Amino acid sequence: MRNHCKLFGVLGLCIVSRSFAASSVTLYGTVDDGFQFNSNQGGSRAYALQQGGLGSSKWGVLGTEDLGGGLSTIFNLESGFDLNSGKLGNNGALFGRKAFVGLSGPFGTVTVGKQYDLFYEVLGGYSAPSRFGGGLGAHPGDVDNLWGDFNISNAVKYRSPNLGGFNAGALYGFGNVPGAFSQSRTLNFTLSYQNGPFSGAVGYLDINNPAVTLWNGSAAPVAGAAFANPITSPIFSGYTSAHQLQIMGVGASYVLDDVTISGVYTNTQFKDVVATSTTPKAGNFSFNSFEGNVLWQVCVDVYLGAGYTFTKAEDARYSQVNFGAKYILSKRTLLYFASDWMHASGTDSTGHAAVAASNNIGASSNANQLVTRIGIRHAF
């Protein structure tokens, strides 16, 4: 009987210790809205309320449980929405931004589910969008995804701990296509380094069948057949029938007192593009983007930023000038200004004269376009 009591006592202690394991669930989000002016949208000036100037309005749930020995369970569910209409973002998916679970410990962090790629998370930090410009600062069409216009489903992601200033990451996205293991698979690698005021990173992203894998196309493109093109931007819509999308990049920054100077270069390749009913070109096509930007903390509450990007497409050239400002009202609320002036030349991906088209904005009717936003952003 005493042995039984001892056994139940040990089990009871185990149960109690488990029940008191540290855990937390946090509800969080941001609401972002503002007034937008477009100098030329399809030939006319446009005035509109536009949400998400510095990042989409969203809400999410973040959870963690301490398993002991430095090991924790983590999960994150995140949903985007349009503040002005109340509609869900991300093509109506409830958790279209993030939906993953994983383990974190001395070995690093492993997560599985729908996630943003490491190229966006690591290289994007050196670009104007994340620093001051929001979506208007994205490179033409966001072809290199530095603004995170797409994320990866069915993904396994690993991020290493800090090792002497170095951090590495890897991601694999399963295609989940029966009998075609690699048809929609994703490969992603990054390596970053930070030492005092200097930081730098390199990244690689390779995606098969991007029309379906990334842009929610209804079917993979077939040469000579009908194709429901999921992209409308003339900057790269003519290349969405590619069988492979490959992006490589390098970025760096240096902090000088209150000024941060950054630069980033990316190479985006649409490989094995097939001619279809909506994409008349075939072959391999590339974009090379070169960006430099400066962020100045004028005082505790005021930030000013400026950047220039030159993008060399296959037969087109795009020049961008971005300005931005932030006024911090509190730890959770800020006012902002963002702008993008774009000039285009040459022939775009559809075979027509290239026109300016700021990211996620209706294309201009000519080579020039100026878009400005004044907004407010609140985090909770």
Would you say residue 5 lies in a domain?
A: no
What's the pLDDT score for residue 37? 98
Would you say residue 44 lies in a domain?
A: yes
Instruction: Give CA–CA dist 84/51, Å, rounded.
Output: 7
Q: Read off φ and ψ for residue 150, nearest 5 degrees.
A: -130, 160
Which residues are CB-neighbours of 326 under 8 A, at least 6 positions away?
A: 132, 302, 303, 334, 335, 336
Which residues are CB-neighbours of 289 under 8 A, at least 6 positions away?
A: 139, 140, 143, 144, 264, 265, 266, 268, 309, 310, 311, 312
Domain at 91, CATH number: 2.40.160.10
Residue 189: give the domain boundaries.
25-379
pLDDT tens track for 59-86: 999 999 999 999 999 999 999 999 999 9
Instruction: Give CA–CA dist 114/98, Å, rounded.
Output: 5
Structure tokens at 223: 């040469």
Residues 288, 363, 141: CA angle, nearest 5 degrees? 30
pLDDT tens track for 345-368: 999 999 999 999 999 999 999 999
Task: Per residue of the chain (380 residues), give pLDDT as tens.
Answer: 444 444 334 434 444 444 446 899 999 999 999 999 999 999 999 999 999 999 999 999 999 999 999 999 999 999 999 999 999 999 899 999 999 999 999 999 999 999 999 999 999 999 999 999 999 999 999 999 999 999 999 999 999 999 999 999 999 999 888 877 888 999 999 999 999 999 999 999 999 999 999 998 888 899 999 999 999 999 999 999 999 999 999 999 999 999 999 999 999 999 999 999 999 999 999 999 999 999 999 999 999 999 999 999 999 999 999 999 999 999 999 999 999 999 999 999 999 999 999 999 999 999 999 999 999 999 99
Helix segments in 144-257, DSSP class H: 210-213
Would you say residue 4 lies in a domain?
A: no
Closest CA to 235 of 297, 117, 315: 315
Instruction: Report the first-to-last Cα separation within the chain, whole angstroms.
Output: 56
Residues 160, 75, 106: CA angle, nearest 5 degrees? 30
Q: Could you give the number of structural domains in the chain?
A: 1
Q: Read off φ and ψ for residue 58, nearest 5 degrees.
A: -160, 165
Would you say residue 198 lies in a domain?
A: yes
Q: Give 20-49 as a 3 state SS string.
A: CCCEEEEEEEEEEEEEEEEEEECCEEEEEE
pLDDT tens track for 200-223: 999 999 999 999 999 988 888 999
Would you say residue 262 lies in a domain?
A: yes
Would you say residue 12 lies in a domain?
A: no
Closest CA to 149 of 160, 159, 138: 138
Instruction: Give CA–CA dist 34/135, Å, rounded.
Output: 13
Would you say residue 15 lies in a domain?
A: no
Would you say residue 148 lies in a domain?
A: yes
Helix segments in the chain, DSSP class H: 2-19, 118, 128, 210-213
